[in-house]
Structure formats: C-alpha cells, structure tokens
Structure 1
Amino acid sequence: MRVFVLTGAGISAESGLKTFRDNDGLWENHRVEDVATPEAFARNPALVQRFYNLRRGALADVAPNPAHVALARLQQALTACGGALTLVTQNVDNLHERGGAADVIHMHGELARVFCVACGFHWDAQCDLTPQSQCPACQTKGGPRPDIVWFGEMPYHMDKIEAALARADLFVSIGTSGAVYPAAGFVQAARERGIQTIELNMEPSHGSLYFDTAHYGPAGTVVPIWVADLMTAIKLDA
C-alpha cells in the first residue's frame, strides 16, 4: 500500500509552535509581509533574520506529539512490508524527524537550513544569522538567508511530490487549512486519479468537500486512532 500524507500547521501547533494563521496573520506582532517575502528580506534583513532566529530557537522548547510519532510508526511498518508512506509537510520545523519519520519532504523549506542568495548554496545551520553572516561557499557577506519558501516563491520538490501523489493508493491531509496553494490542490488531484482521500483536522478545511472521509479533533488524538485502525485493517505489525 502506498500512502501519501500531507501535514500542515495544525499538527505542529499542538506541540506548542505558534503559527501566523492562529494569530490573525501576526507572529510576534509582525505581519507576513514584513518577515516572509523576498522583498521584506531586501528591505530589512536584520528584522527577518531575527524573526527566524527566534523561530529556530523555539524548536528546542517543543517536542513531537503523538501524531508525529504515529505517522513515523506507520511509515516504518509500511516500508517493512514493501509499501510506502510519502510524508510531505508544509511545516518548516523538524518535529516529524524528531518523531521518528524518515525522508520527510519539506515543501516550504526548513528552519534548520540556510541558503545563499548570491550563489544558491544550501546547507544545514543551527546558529543565528545576521546581516553580517557569510556564505561558506562564496564568502558573500549578507548572502545567507533562511531556507524558507516565502510568499511569492515556488515550493520545493514539486516534481517529486507530484510523482508520489500519482502513485498513491490513499491521500491523507492532516492539520491543514486547505487555503494555501499548491498544497490545497493536492486533494483534487488525488480525486481526479481515483485515489481515496481522508481529512484529519480540527475542523473542516476549505477543501473538505473533496474528501471521501473525515475525522475531526486534535491531531494528537485523531491521528493515532486512524493509524491504529489502518494498521489493523491492512494487517500491519505495530
């Protein structure tokens, strides 16, 4: 069995991470336009770097919740029996990996990675960035920026995501609003291919009418129950 799972802010919010959507478009009193666009970085790199330094630092204060752990368990069980779970997340945290998942596709980038606007080099980095930070590849001062897909930029790994979705037997959306494209369009693409679709969310998303089945409630509750039921149904060992 090949399962395609898309996760969004709802699964991370339950671990205590703040989101723009949960705070009326604000995070630490900043508008999206001030900290999450290329124009914002060009206009005020110090503010943008500080914003993401704080978000990166906040990862140390949170832990994976039962939903992250359950998805990792399902991925491991499917892999062991010749199946697959493709885990695509809109989140930029590392909670899926810390929960035990492997090969997580971060379509909107990662807080723990950096890239250089001067030469395009990408690398892992846990340290704070400033406008004086230097690229290790081309030595450009001020070149490094958070490896985050900002508004107006193309999400990462779209070819890989679309190929995995085309091969899936089941599409599952967890903790997403269904309002941000292209991720919001995945469920429609799945339905057009005849793939079964399931929504696990706090409340119906903008695209709820496209799902065959839905279970609503906290991710830490509904996801482990769904995983256990699926593993029983397809006779997977825990």
Structure 2
Amino acid sequence: MEKGQAIACGTATFSASCWALFCMLVNVMEPDAAVLASFLLGLCLSAFMTFAYRSVRSSLKAVLASSGAIALLGTSFFWIDLPCIVGLALMGVALIAPLLVREKKPSYEKLVRLADLWTNYGGIMTMSFASERLRVSVEEAEELLRWYCKQGLAFRLVRDHTTIYFMPSAIREMPRLEALVLEAFLEKPTGLTAYELSSLTGLRIEVLKPVLEGLVRRGLLAKHSDEYRLVVVSGLPEQRRRKRRRERRRRS
C-alpha cells in the first residue's frame, strides 16, 4: 500500500469510526462528551488500523468498503435501537475484514517480460507501450510499472505532459553515447531535433548522427521530419508495424 493509499485509508477509517462511535455513544452520554470520546477513540483506532492495513497490504477497495459499512452502521442507530456492545462488535468485524483481503501481486512472468522490454527499449517505458507489447490492459500495465517503482528500481517522471517510467539500471547497460542520448529524452520525451540533442548531450552533430541512426535502426527511436522521438512514446513507425503484423501472421 502506497503512502497516498494509506492516507486515504486512514481518512476513511477515521471519519467512519468517529461517526459510528458518536452515534453509539450519544445514547449513553452527553453529546459533548460523546463528540470528544468518539474523536479520541476514532483517532486511535484509525491510526492503529491504518498501520495494520499497510503492514499486511490490504486492498484499498476493501478498506473503503469497510469504512462505508461502518458509517452505515452508525447511521442505523438513529432508527434501530441496538445495544452499544452489539454495535461495537459489528464495527470490530468491519474493521478486521479488510485484513483478510490483500492487494493482488503482479504476475512474476509479466514482471520479467516487462523488465526485458524495458531493457530492450533503453530503460524508458510508458503505460501505453507496455500495455500494447505485453498485451495487457493499461491498468495492469500501470500496476506492473508501479511495482518496479515501489521496489526502487524505476522512477515515474512527468515531462512535457507525458508520463514515463525510467529504469536507471537498464540504461546503464547501454553503450555510453547511446545512454547519453536516451537520457536527454528524459527532459523532453515527446521529441528532440539533432541540434537540441547536441545541446543537451554536449556531443557534436557529426558524432551524434551515427548514434541516432543506430538507435533508429534498433527501433528505440523513430525519425519524424527533423525530429527524433522515443518509440515508447510515439509508437512504432507504420512500416515497422506492418512488418510486425506480417511476422505475427507467419507465426500463427
């Protein structure tokens, strides 16, 4: 469970618990005392449960569903005269339930395939390209990419209104000049001219041109007019797409 998800869990659990506890306690104590007691109990309870949810990697959806059930339970006390102990017991069950629903772990096979794909394309990846090449949904591709980010093996970057995922270890395996060129695209993944690349890398045009041509031949970059673009961002050129389709037909 990521930090943002943990905050969402804590907020939902705290809000629902406070409301449910207030609805239960207001029948047995003064309203002011019920507010204070429900706030303090809800705060302690939500902090403890959020820690537990994060420790066992509970599903965010399960936690939110649990919070909704707790809020409904509290509201029901206005219409149903239940003993406070029964309400607390039901609330406890609702709080514990998400501990039994874990986040789904990404498929090991798909993680390996993604790592290979990442390496083949110079350590830079996008959700759409990973989805297309791995033949999975965009949501699943994002989950796989985020897994590597959680492990500290990759980083999510937003540049020029484009979200890319960067794996430093993959780019370090490439020849130095190629790695230097690809790292320049981290600043502007949507495309760079040879002169812009020369400025960013410090390489002279005559040195840069053979490197760019090599990256184009290997399918990491595509040339559009006078601009070079990452294939993982702009997609495969039409000619290369046709070639891939023919290869797939031959295999089938």
| Greater Cα radius of gyration, structure 1 or 2 | 2
For the superposition of Structure 1 and Structure 2, which TM-score range results when normalised by the shorter chain?
A: under 0.3
The higher relative CO (CA closer than 8 Å, separation ≥ 6) is in: 1
Normalising by structure 2, we get a TM-score of: 0.23
Bigger proportion of residues as strand: 1
Bigger proportion of residues as helix: 2
